[in-house]
Amino acid sequence: MANWFSRRLTAPGAHVQLNRAQWTIVEEVDRHNLPVDEEDFNRGYGPLYSCVQLLCHSNKEKESQEETSAFMLIYLQTPILGTEGETLATRSQQATQYTPSELAALQTFTERCVQCTPRLLDWRSSRQEKDSPVPEGFIVWVVWEIVPGTRLGDAFGGDIF
């Protein structure tokens, strides 16, 4: 499985500044690629991305604050299969924006104070740097609280994460 993520984003001890707080990576939990070739992409499949799930904790701003342990999911747009070796300029033409369904759902549930789902703790949406897999492509971070129980899964099954 291809590793599209820079160690500076996912290595234990790495710090990530999101909208509300700075988070420190503890360890990688899982990784998933959603590869699509040009034919599938032209049929409407996509966007193409790779995600990594991480265990993290918030950095305390004051001594009186407690660290919050959480899960972080990073979505990174990846090139269409077969274009990985193309120039940065060519791959940058694939750049798009994307809002993961988990982010939209967690935002709604958290805003409405739903008690039976994890709370969204933080998030950020940005564009990749010019030397990244898809220059100006999306990169999205989603951080949610750890809750007891078993993840029920999604339309693709429960084993993705």
- Sorted by sequence, the CB contacts under 8 Å of residue 12 that are 6+ apart come out as 25, 26, 27
Joined tokens for residue 6 = 């820079």
In a domain, 122, yes or no: yes
Residue 86 lies in a domain: yes
Instruction: Judge whether 49 lies within some domain.
Output: yes
pLDDT at residue number 99:
94
Q: What is the pLDDT of residue 74?
A: 96
Q: Mind listing the pLDDT tens digit for each residue in 121-145?
A: 999 999 999 989 999 999 999 999 9
* Bridge partners for 142 per DSSP: 73, 123
The sign one gets for the Cα dihedral 145, 149, 150, 151 is negative
Tell whether 155 is covered by a domain.
no
H helix and E strand count, the chain = 4, 6
Tell me the HSE value of 136 on the side-chain side, using a 13 A CA sphere.
9
Q: Is residue 4 part of a domain?
A: no
Structure confidence by residue, pLDDT tens digits, 57-86: 998 665 656 778 999 999 999 998 888 889
For the record, the structure tokens of 142 come out as 């989603």
List of residues 6+ apart from 134 with CB closer than 8 A:
77, 78, 79, 91, 92, 94, 95, 128
- Average pLDDT (26-54) is 84
In 8-137 the beta strands, taken as DSSP E runs, fall at 15-17, 22-34, 49-58, 69-77, 120-127
Q: How many domains does the chain have?
A: 1
pTM of the model as a whole: 0.86
Mean pLDDT across 84-98: 91
- Per-residue pLDDT band at 153 (split at 50, 70, 90): low
Instruction: Say if residue 161's pLDDT is above 80.
Output: no
Would residue 117 count as lying in a domain?
Answer: yes
5 lies in some domain: no
Instruction: Examine the pLDDT at 156 and tell me if it is beyond 70.
Output: no
159 within a domain of the structure (yes/no): no
Domain limits at 21? 11-145
Average pLDDT score, the chain: 87
